[in-house]
Amino acid sequence: MIELRELTKRYGGRPVVDRLSFRVEAGVVTGFLGPNGSGKSTTMRMILGLDAPDHGRALIDGVPYSAIDRPLRTVGALLDAGAFHPGRSARAHLLALAAGNDITPSRVDQVLATVGLSDVAARRAGTYSLGMRQRLGVAVALLGDPGVLLLDEPVNGLDPEGIRWIRDLLRGLAAEGRTVFVSSHLIAEMALTADRLVVIGQGRLLAETTVTDLAAGGDTLEDAFFRLTSQATDYRGSVA
């Protein structure tokens, strides 16, 4: 489980994340939605200890990320699909991470197969397409067989087959009892993937809801999202 308690971050005196509190429960896919600049990426970075909050706490299974021993085996994350040395092969990249987290080398081949990169695992990752880089990022997130997963825009660069693959993968991981927290700018895709939604605007919580409840007024999901976020931000038609 992920729990945020009054999480706050300011830049130049302006709150980017403003007293944000919510829970991400195990066993369901939770989608994270909000307009551009709403604070989603900053929130994920604070959960992972990459940015320090000015106030409040982000907890994973009751403790801060910094207190987790061998974090890759507890939390898997994809924030940047390009977070690898371009001269290394995918297998070498994963083997280095496995060695630093006491993960057996055989797990590397398992996750490469899961993400569909086995046949190109010896190629330099710098030659990969964006979709292949996304798959490698997902492999890194899965490497430690973690119970908690945070994925930022995991469908970026994927073709329709890849989008269906990531959708089925996320729902399967949640069905195994894992905590799955995923951001996306594709509202319609979240409708097919997520069980619950966390919607923020200007760093503030707007709703913790289900896809069905968000569009309960009879509008399309996009219209319902616009109506909700327009209460808190100058919405200009693009979401992230």
Q: Are 121 and 91 in contact (CB under 8 A)?
A: yes
pLDDT above 90 covers what percent of the chain?
70
How far apart, in Å, do the first and last CA atoms of the chain sit? 23
Rounded CA separation 233/108 (Å): 43
- pTM of the complete model: 0.90
E-state strands within the chain: 2-11, 14-24, 29-33, 55-60, 75-78, 148-152, 179-183, 196-201, 204-210
Going from N- to C-terminal start, the domains of the chain cover 1-74+147-240, 83-145
Rounded CA separation 149/141 (Å): 7
Rounded CA separation 203/211 (Å): 21
pLDDT of 15 reads 92
Q: Which of 135, 58, 123, 131 is nearest to 88 (CA)?
A: 123
Domain spanning 1-74+147-240, CATH class: alpha beta
Q: Are 60 and 168 in contact (CB under 8 A)?
A: no
pLDDT of 82 reads 83
- Give the pLDDT confidence of 120-155 residue by residue, as tens digits: 999 999 999 999 999 999 999 999 999 999 999 898
- Give the pLDDT confidence of 163-211 residue by residue, as tens digits: 999 999 999 999 999 999 999 877 888 888 999 999 998 899 999 998 8
Q: Are 155 and 186 in contact (CB under 8 A)?
A: yes
Rounded CA separation 42/30 (Å): 17
Q: What is the phi/psi pair of residue 209, to 5°? A: -155, 180
Question: What is the H or E stretch that residue 107 is in?
Answer: helix 106-114
Angle in degrees, CA 102, 155, 147, rounded to 5 = 35
Q: Are strands 179-183 and 14-24 parallel, antiparallel or unpaired?
A: unpaired
| DSSP 8-state symbol, 53 | -
Share in percent of the chain as helix, strand, coil (round to 5): 35, 25, 35
pLDDT of 236 reads 38
- Give the pLDDT confidence of 27-60 residue by residue, as tens digits: 999 999 988 788 999 999 999 999 999 999 999 9
| DSSP 8-state symbol, 63 | B
DSSP secondary structure letters along 66-83: GG-SSGGGTEEEES-TT-
Per the DSSP assignment, residues forming a β-bridge with 59 are 3
